[in-house]
Structure 1
Amino acid sequence: MTTTRIEKDCLGEMEIPNDQYYGIQTHRMVKVSGAAGVPVIAYPEMHRALFHIKKCCALANADIGALEPEVAQAIAKAADLALQGRFDDQFPLDMWQGGGYTCVNMNVNEVLGNAANEILTGHKGQDRVHPNTHVNKAQSTNDTIPSATHLAMAPGIDKIIDGLDKLQASFAKKAEEFKDVVKVGRTCWQDALPLTLGQEFSGYASLMGRLAAKLRAARPGCFELVMGGSAVGTGLGADPGYMEALYRHLSEEYGETVRPMDNLFDGFQNSDFVVTVSGLVKEVAASLSKICKDLRLMSSGPRSGFMEIGLPALSPGSSIMPGKINPTVPEMVIQIAHQVIGNDVAITVAYDEGELDLNVWDSTFYKCIMENLRLVGEELVILRRDCVDGITANRARCQQEADRSVALSTVVAATFGYPEGVRVAHYCEQHNGTVKQAVVDMGLMTKEEAGRMIDPMLMTEPAQMARAIAQFKASKKA
């Protein structure tokens, strides 16, 4: 039979099962929790950050003589156990909560407090370590939760940067592999000047590098916190020396330079860094989605579409049509972009809804940004591993379409003038022929000249094309 203990708060007292590390305040909120059916710890990064914060706060308070060393060490040990996942089942609160996640902060305070009390006395309770007096000393939910959110974003950002770096390398490898595969370019879904498949993929590689650079530039903001500001930024409740000791311990704990924001009142009022990160993650998701739409088009067919590339066949694509294969990974990436963009809108609205001295919409910020970080971090791995690395080129099809493109008449316009280029284009349409054949039929070039000048691959190298046109014009004048 489970024994119980009595815990008290400002609303009264409650009998708590003794096998639970969380206490009275968590029990009160669990009763009105559960709208999403998803606990906050489903994205555990905030709890991990709070464990680090509570540990460093306890050690900092001990350093300045504001907390008994024995109590501080017990809290630090409890936090280390929590970081190992020891108490993960003790955080039952649902993702959506009011009160600026006060209940989440107190859930952590209660678990660490009872664990620390157990370390010192052999039993749970508040007789030696109190969740508010000791674990939450010199803190407020208003500085711990925003700070924990900042810290919680760093691992997700790091994963996305790593994924972008690796995807950039994969696209660059394909750019080299496809450098001699000439194809028709397309603008507004119409035939345009030729380029190589390698040149297209080099653009994708360049984009991945640029996105990674933007995230690297934003990353230091994860380690700019409002800890020490207490409830509204004034720092009331902290003893002298606390801030310096706290940030020293946080920097040691993370192996990063962790520092307070330049203006804590700004930090309390404005959650713009979450909006910044969300915007960058959305940019990554939208960029991947755009590329995947390109891949769907280029691989369409396989006999009645563009048919320029082949994607890895991962599963049957129809329950009724034998042999049909769908671009499942690109379609997954596109759908993830839908969700990420929606979450970014929610984050933007939550930022806009902040009032006066604190933005309390932490549930919206945390749920949406952590879902986006996870989705984009994972899709980068899947897209590279299960799609991009296995892409093949349909060289014959690409060459055929490039040779037949009426856009090759641009060479005629550059050589003989735009009206003559239009005349050649019309001739091609009327006779369903190629530009190469048209210039011969119309007496503009010899067959040998047409073979040399109306070359799609030559047109992918502007400098070489310009020299060829200059030489042709000179020969004609001579």
Structure 2
Amino acid sequence: MRTEKDFLGEKEVNKEAYWGIHTQRALDNFPLSGQRVHPQLIKALALVKVAAAQANLELGYLEEEKALAIIEAGMEIAAGKLLDQFPLDALQGGAGTSTNMNVNEVLANRATELLGGQKGTYLVDSCNDVNMHQSTNDVFPTALRIAAIQLLLPLSQAMAELQNALQEKEAEFAGIIKPGRTQLQDAVPITLGQEFSAYAQAIARDRWRLYKVEERLRQVNLGGTAVGTGINTPKEYIYLVIEKLRQYTSLGLARAENMIDLTQNADVFVEVSGLLKAAAVNLGKIASDLRLLSSGPHTGLGEIQLPEVQAGSSIMPGKVNPVIPEAVNQAAFQVIAHDLAVTLACQSGQLELNAFLPLVAHHLLHAIELLTNSAQVLAEKCVRGIRANKDHCQLLVENSLIMAPALLPYLGYEKTAAIVREARQKNIPIRSALLESQLMTEEEAERLLDYRELTRPGVAYHKLKMKSLGGEV
């Protein structure tokens, strides 16, 4: 062990640890969730420190030897090294100060090593050098924006892959007629391809919204320090550090016009979280539909078959469950729960700062990651392997009453209702009941009750009339 000091006193720290006394106190103070700070946030914080060190070096505020050591150490962490040196609980008081100091101390000790010193000797100081011209209040929200952007990019790609998988099934199932249902009751004919087209379109909306919302995260308050006024920060540093941050992140970041606003208000994270929730709602609805459409398979709807990925029961041999959609449903529920936590945390900021950004970071970043994984799994392990039970769909159409709406323009509501009642009472297809009523010839019935025509816009009676007149439909 080694002994370190701060203004509160002394504390023992593991001599092999790269963190120091501030991190050790936070470790002792916040044994809450058992979940660590998201590694993407740590990597983003490291890049912020690198940009700050580079700016301070070029402006002559930081010695070259120290600056280069900080930059090298920061790039190591940004590349995924030393991530085991960030042990803090994701939920912590102090608006992220503990995490900021954890990064400062790890960078200081690693930079000290690079300069030939031993951990704990601090040839590079965590506050005076690594944290120069910074505050947790501008560093932490800036890093959170960077981390969110970096995670949103693969999410957008995953949603694109899911959209593509659904569109492939749309084309494959275009010719399969089946009952359309409203409120779980038989309604009108639809093609299986049309159902999948709606799923694809919903995902397309989510994909576009998530792609565009990244732009809302590009404004940062780095350089605003404590409350956004830029106290203790040279003006030239404020402009240069943003330039360096763009360079090291390869992101189109910009200094906020009002840094006080971005230091006080976290509503942009609510906006992003809300779009994640919308995507979760669509993913969850699609997953539920796939479970329902594949239900049975002999006593349920059984219109599609999902890929068989694992045995479904320890007591019922041969049973296979829709485990992928079930897992995606649970992920969707979790993302919606994440959104509530983000909303409450962002609303609870007071005056010049939001103290609850650690909670925002934890839930927002995990929600993005969870959605990314869910979209990938749903596309690869479920959607791409779906097969249609074409003959069963056809049988359901033949034996249902979903053709009734096509009779309305020709027979009117009362006569059509009477035919439907007759079909129900006798348990016969509506086509048979229609012929028994002698309200229409067999040829007229065949032409009017054309399944494919009934899945397209327009009124079948008027289409037939146009055809009889030699016109275009």
What does residue 95 of structure 1 align with? 90
Amino acid at match of 2:126: P
- Alignment map for 1:54-453 (pairs within 5 Å): 54-125=49-120, 128-453=123-448
Note the alpha carbon deviations across 1:291-310, whole angstroms, 9 max, x for none: 11111111111111111111
Give the CA deviation at 1:392. 0.6
Give the CA deviation at 1:66. 1.7
Q: Is the deviation greater in 445-454 or in 327-336?
A: 445-454
Matched-pair contact (CA < 8 Å) for 1:225–1:260: yes
Alpha-carbon distance between aligned partners in 2 of 1:387 and 1:38, rounded to the nearest angstrom: 30
Amino acid at match of 1:298: L
Amino acid at match of 1:433: I
Q: Partner of 1:31: helix, strand, or coil? A: helix
TM-score by length of 1: 0.94
Matched-pair contact (CA < 8 Å) for 1:78–1:115: yes
Note the alpha carbon deviations across 1:136-160, whole angstroms, 9 max, x for none: 0111011111111111112221121
Matched-pair contact (CA < 8 Å) for 1:413–1:422: no
Q: Partner of 1:183: helix, strand, or coil? A: strand
Give the CA deviation at 1:15. 4.8
Q: Partner of 2:403: helix, strand, or coil? A: helix
Give the CA deviation at 1:420. 1.9
Note closer, same or farther for the CA distance 1:7–1:422 as it changes in structure 2 (3 Å cut): same
Amino acid at match of 1:7: E
Note the alpha carbon deviations across 1:267-321, whole angstroms, 9 max, x for none: 1111111111111111111111101111111111111111111111112212212
Q: Partner of 2:180: helix, strand, or coil? A: strand
Matched-pair contact (CA < 8 Å) for 1:415–1:469: no
Count of aligned pairs: 470
Note the alpha carbon deviations across 1:183-217, whole angstroms, 9 max, x for none: 01100111111010000001111111111110111
Give 5+ residue unaligned stretches, structure 2: none
Alpha-carbon distance between aligned partners in 2 of 1:415 and 1:285, rounded to the nearest angstrom: 43
Give the CA deviation at 1:13. 3.5
Q: Is the deviation greater in 241-250 or in 115-124?
A: 115-124
Amino acid at match of 1:351: C
Matched-pair contact (CA < 8 Å) for 1:22–1:110: yes
2:18 is the alignment partner of 1:18: no
Alpha-carbon distance between aligned partners in 1 of 2:272 and 2:417, rounded to the nearest angstrom: 49
Give the CA deviation at 1:335. 1.1
TM-score by length of 2: 0.95
Q: Partner of 1:462: helix, strand, or coil? A: coil
Matched-pair contact (CA < 8 Å) for 1:272–1:351: yes
Note closer, same or farther for the CA distance 1:138–1:406 as it changes in structure 2 (3 Å cut): same
Q: Partner of 1:184: helix, strand, or coil? A: strand
Q: Is the deviation greater in 7-16 or in 354-363?
A: 7-16
Alpha-carbon distance between aligned partners in 2 of 1:30 and 1:462, rounded to the nearest angstrom: 64
Give the CA deviation at 1:33. 2.8
Alpha-carbon distance between aligned partners in 2 of 1:28 and 1:300, rounded to the nearest angstrom: 54
Q: Partner of 2:452: helix, strand, or coil? A: helix
- Alignment map for 1:48-59 (pairs within 5 Å): 48-59=43-54
Note closer, same or farther for the CA distance 1:466–1:158 as it changes in structure 2 (3 Å cut): farther
Alpha-carbon distance between aligned partners in 2 of 1:124 and 1:160, rounded to the nearest angstrom: 39
Note the alpha carbon deviations across 1:12-69, whole angstroms, 9 max, x for none: 34454432211111112222232222221xx201100011000000111112222222
Note closer, same or farther for the CA distance 1:84–1:473 as it changes in structure 2 (3 Å cut): closer
Tell me how large the CA RMSD over aligned residues is.
1.8
Matched-pair contact (CA < 8 Å) for 1:164–1:208: yes
Note closer, same or farther for the CA distance 1:35–1:455 as it changes in structure 2 (3 Å cut): same
Note closer, same or farther for the CA distance 1:127–1:348 as it changes in structure 2 (3 Å cut): closer
Alpha-carbon distance between aligned partners in 2 of 1:376 and 1:401, rounded to the nearest angstrom: 35
Q: Partner of 2:402: helix, strand, or coil? A: helix
Matched-pair contact (CA < 8 Å) for 1:150–1:221: no
Give the CA deviation at 1:460. 0.7
Amino acid at match of 1:63: E
What does residue 450 of structure 2 align with? 455
Alpha-carbon distance between aligned partners in 1 of 2:12 and 2:418, rounded to the nearest angstrom: 91
Alpha-carbon distance between aligned partners in 1 of 2:227 and 2:350, rounded to the nearest angstrom: 12
Q: Partner of 1:191: helix, strand, or coil? A: strand
2:32 is the alignment partner of 1:35: yes
Alpha-carbon distance between aligned partners in 2 of 1:375 and 1:204, rounded to the nearest angstrom: 20
Amino acid at match of 2:26: M
Percent identity between the two aligned chains: 38
Q: Partner of 1:323: helix, strand, or coil? A: coil
Alpha-carbon distance between aligned partners in 2 of 1:69 and 1:39, rounded to the nearest angstrom: 33
